[in-house]
Structure 1
Amino acid sequence: MANNSADEVVSGEIWEQFCDELKAAGQQILRAEAPNDAFNRAEGWRYLTRLTRIGLDMFMECSDRDFPTFYRPSHETAKIGADNPDNIYLRAEINGMNDYRISGSRGTVAYLGFIAIAGGYEEADGNMRSVASLDTHSGLAVNADGSVEVILSRHPQPGNWLKITDDTLAVLVRETFLDRNTEVFADLRIERLNADGAKPAPLQATQLVESLRKTTAFVKGTASLFADWAQDFKAHPNSLPPADQAYCQKLGGDPNIFYYHGYFKLADDEALLIEVDRIPECDNWNFQLNNYWMESLEYRYVQIHLNKHTAHYRSDSGVSIVVGATDPSCVNWLDTTGHREGTMAFRWIGAAEHPQPQCRVVKMHELPQLIQAP
């Protein structure tokens, strides 16, 4: 195996394979059911470049499990699977046979959660299984000075303990904001315990070959997985049915979140009115718009999502959300940013009950009679 890897590296064969596999991933953008206009295709090709960047971080730059570091597997310019605009995601690659410590400042984010993961989208079954979780909803302990420490190991530990297993390969962190303008994110680092002064080894040919192959498998697997989802959602437009919660957990979903996924398709003079008549006690809830490829729309500069804190509530304590291409001069309007169709997601976070969001398509001119003015 070592000689084969060396030959592939020296000859350049591994680079040709890498480029060929990335080219093959483009078939997901060209699927028959996907939008075929220039606007959506351009976002699709950009999506593949973003998945490639994430994959290279995951399998090339941050893949040393003995010397892990946190990186952002989904963020403002690289997005996967209805990434939550209220979240900062952190991920570190680890070896389930080692013990680790996560430490730092807890910050003031509304929700902080850790999930140990086995498997990934690069594998044949695309299964990113959750091994165990620990979060502020279920009792994460924070020190008086605002610091936090979590031990990751196979055997129980005092204090904050996140169980890992022999096949655990990563830890995923979710930091969930109610208000990014005022809340302070958690500043965390991770280290392997009992490293005994060891240092990372130089790059080897076998490692390079494996990293490039896993990167392309990740790009193809991720693109295929969420293209399948979008195809399913498209069959039932302008509705928000509950997702298969067990399946969401297999893909790395948070066990404290109840998910809904759907598809919007609107004419220029139409709006999607989403109504939730009762908001239960919860850590947070949110609703967001995504493009066809299940990337959140541009939330840095445009209002494309709402949550527990940012939404305006009706006098009966319910909430009405308006999705449309033009500003109807009403509260809770979300801008489709030039998209006539795309995907969408609703979450209940830390809620004991899950009222169903109701959706209906209305004409823009009808909105003043249907919802409250700002």
Structure 2
Amino acid sequence: MDINPTLLSYLSDLEGAVANLSDSWHPDDPAYQADLYRQTLTSLSYSYFVYFHATPEHPDWAPLWNPVFTLQPNPDDIYVQSPIRGDLSYRVSGNRGTCKILSFTSQTAASGTVDQMPRPNGHNELDTNDLGIGLGEEFEILFSAERPAGYSGHWGRIDPTATYMYLRYRSYDWLNEVDPQLSIECLDPVPPKPRLTPEEIIERIGEMAKFPRRKTDLYYPMQNGVKERVGFNVFEPVRYPGALVKQVYWPACFQFDADEALIIETELPAHAPYWNIQLNDPLFNALEYVYRLSSTNGHYARLSSDGKYRAVIALNDPGVPNWLDPAGYLEGGIYGRWYECDSEPTPTITRVRLADLRDHLPPDTPHISAEERAEELRLRVKACQRRRRW
């Protein structure tokens, strides 16, 4: 391979992601263009971990979506990843922590690493709750394509074609639940981790440059499809195959004017181990969720006196419970989740004048003072910073 000293020449495929501006809602809007440039670089930033941090023979957890917010991570989830090989065996061990869910997902290919995601994707998922691993418990799980003869411990299957494993630690009470502490080891004899050759480095830089476009190719149609099928301010529930098949999503695309508000209203399932709602930008990135109240879940949500959940999307604090802050956006996406619930109600969205907001809420809806809101945000920042996002 001819090693060209001009780094920019190896990154030319980044323009593929920029070309996807044509698939955004307003391709000629300078704000959309700037958001796309930012999204391209956020995807590029974490693609380094995909191609350089670890190898299947020398696995190690690395950050996934959390530090960069790109392509709609759930704010309640911490995601980590490691490359693996389906013909090798791995031991994951450590402490379960006390978070709501700890699940492992292995796949033939990770999104962003191939032009076309395989169907099926050699997909396997394992939830420690299903294994009976208790909160705060020390444990280990053997992952392999086949269970070893006579092995009686915790075991998880990985597809023989697997190249990738990711974990999600889902927390309800961000401040008080404890995230897991885990290691991953390859159990097969392998040589020492090698120094990369110049050719290998250049090849991986080229794959990094393709990564942002591959991500947007996959994820833009998800949010665009909702808008095309049902328009704005309407939820379209869906259950995806693959990861978290126990979960029903309720996506929507929101839109309102600066002097308006959106009221989200829903019944709640009688049995609801977990549910949440979050706001995304028009390019399917999670909005700032550390210093903005752009998401909530069943632990933090305040219900109305009639038992319903009501949230309000407004540019500025409307002084009511469950404000979802759109972080300066007047349009974007909404994602909600019912997880292992005994029913799956579809919420509604009502667009109202901000000045008339309280006319559309129960009369006993409390007023949230500026001091109360500041304390709510302070605790959120404190809790989120204590979670492992890097």
TM over 0.5: yes
1:219 to 201, 212, 222: 212
- Alignment-derived partner of residue 307 in structure 2: 317
C-alpha distance in 2 between matches for 1:217 and 1:343 = 25
CA distance in structure 2 between the partners assigned to 1:271 and 1:127 by the alignment: 41
CA distance in 2 between counterparts of 1:218 and 1:80 reads 12
The CA deviation string for residues 202-248 of structure 1, in whole angstroms up to 9 with x for no partner, is 102443244223323321110222222332233311111013523xx
Distance 1:174 1:317 in 2: 30
Aligned with residue 21 of structure 2, among 25, 29, 46 = 29
Which residue is equivalent to 2:82?
A: 92
Q: How high is the sequence identity, in percent, across the aligned residues?
A: 24
Aligned to 2:137: 146
Question: Does the 8 A contact of 1:109 with 1:184 survive in 2?
Answer: yes
Q: Report if the CA contact (8 A) 1:141-1:160 is conserved.
A: no
Q: Is the 8 A contact 1:115 1:173 kept in 2?
A: yes
Question: How many angstroms apart in 2 are the aligned matches of 1:44 and 1:282?
Answer: 36
Partner of 2:152: 158
1:163 deviation in Å? 0.3
> Per-residue deviation at 1:279?
2.7
Report the secondary structure of 2:214's partner residue: helix
Offset of residue 61 of structure 1:
2.4
What's the offset of the Cα at 1:139? Answer: 2.9
Name the counterpart of 2:378. Answer: none
User: Of the candidates 315, 335, 344, which is equivalent to residue 334 of structure 2?
Assistant: 344
Deviations 1:62-85 (A, max 9, x none): 3x1100100111113x13332100
Is the Cα–Cα contact under 8 Å of residues 34 and 231 in structure 1 kept in the other structure?
Answer: no
Answering whether residue 28 of structure 2 is matched by residue 18 of structure 1, we say: no
Give the distance between the partners of 1:194 and 1:103, measured in 2 at CA: 16
One-letter amino acid matched to 1:174:
R
Query: Residues of 1 paired with 2:313 and 2:27: CA distance?
Result: 20
Measure the CA separation in 2 of the matches of 1:35 and 1:217: 21
Change (3 A) 1:32 1:51: closer
Aligned to 2:65: 74
Measure, in 2, the Cα distance between the counterparts of 1:323 and 1:126: 35
- How far 1:152 moved relative to its partner? 0.7
RMSD over equivalenced CA pairs, Å: 2.1
Within 1, Cα distance between the matches of 2:285 and 2:155? 33
Match of 2:178 among 175, 179, 184: 184
TM-aligned CA distance change 1:234 to 1:200, over 3 Å: same
Deviating above 6 A after TM superposition, structure 1's stretches of 4 or more consecutive aligned residues are: none
> Contact conserved, 2:10 with 2:202, CA < 8 A, in 1?
no
Distance (whole Å) between structure 1 residues aligned to residue 181 and residue 341 of structure 2: 26
Gaps of 5+ in 2: 368-390
Contact 1:71–1:92 (CA under 8 A) maintained in structure 2: yes
Q: Which runs of 5+ in 1 are unaligned?
A: 1-6
Q: For residue 255 of structure 1, what is the aligned residue in structure 2?
A: 245
Secondary structure (helix, strand or coil) at the match of 2:248 reads strand
Q: Which moved more, 1:356-365 or 1:126-135?
A: 126-135
Amino acid at match of 1:40: Y
8 A Cα contact 1:178 1:309, kept in partner: yes
Question: Deviation string for 1:87-133 (max 9, x for gaps)?
Answer: 10011110111000111111111111111111232323234836221
| Per-residue deviation, 1:188 | 1.0
Q: Secondary structure at the match of 1:138?
A: helix
- Aligned partners of 1:19, 1:189: CA distance in 2, in Å? 33
Q: Give the paired residue count.
A: 357
CA contact (8 A) 1:241 1:260 kept: yes
Q: Compute the displacement of 1:30 (Å).
A: 4.7
The residue number in structure 1 matching 2:317 is: 327
Residue number in structure 2 paired with 1:4 = none
Asked if residue 202 in structure 1 is aligned to residue 195 in structure 2, the reply is yes
Match of 1:47 among 39, 47, 52: 39
Asked if 2 retains the 8 angstrom alpha-carbon contact of 1:60 and 1:212, the reply is no
Q: How many Å apart are 1:141 and its aligned residue?
A: 2.1
How far apart are residue 297 of structure 1 and its match? 0.9
Q: Residues 119-167 of structure 1, C-alpha deviation per residue, up to 9 Å, x if partnerless? A: 2323232348362211144234248x72121111011242321101221
Q: Report what 2:105 is aligned to.
A: 115
Judge which range, 231-240 or 339-348, deviates more: 231-240
Name 2:296's counterpart in structure 1: 306
State the alpha-carbon separation in 1 of the partners of residues 255 and 38 from structure 2: 22
On the 8 A contact 1:116/1:162 being kept in 2, the answer is no
Aligned counterpart, 1:237: 232
Alpha-carbon distance in structure 1 between the residues aligned to 2:170 and 2:351:
30
One-letter identity of the residue aligned with 1:125: Q
Cα pair distance change 1:313/1:239, threshold 3 Å: same
CA contact (8 A) 1:279 1:318 kept: no
Cα-to-partner distance string for 1:226-271 (whole Å, 9 max, x where unaligned): 222332233311111013523xx3xxx3222211222111111221
Secondary structure of 1:173's partner?
Answer: strand
Structure 1 residues 136 and 318: alpha-carbon distance in aligned structure 2, compared to 1, 3 A threshold: farther
Does the 8 Å CA contact 2:315/2:326 hold for their aligned counterparts?
yes
Moved more, 126-135 or 64-73: 126-135
TM-score if structure 1 supplies the norm length? Answer: 0.89
Q: Secondary structure at the match of 2:79?
A: strand
Alignment of 1:133 onto 2:122 = no
Cross-structure match for 1:3: none
**CA distance 1:35–1:244, shift in 2 (3 Å):** farther
Q: CA deviation at 1:177?
A: 0.8
Contact residue 287 and residue 294 of structure 2 kept, 8 A: yes
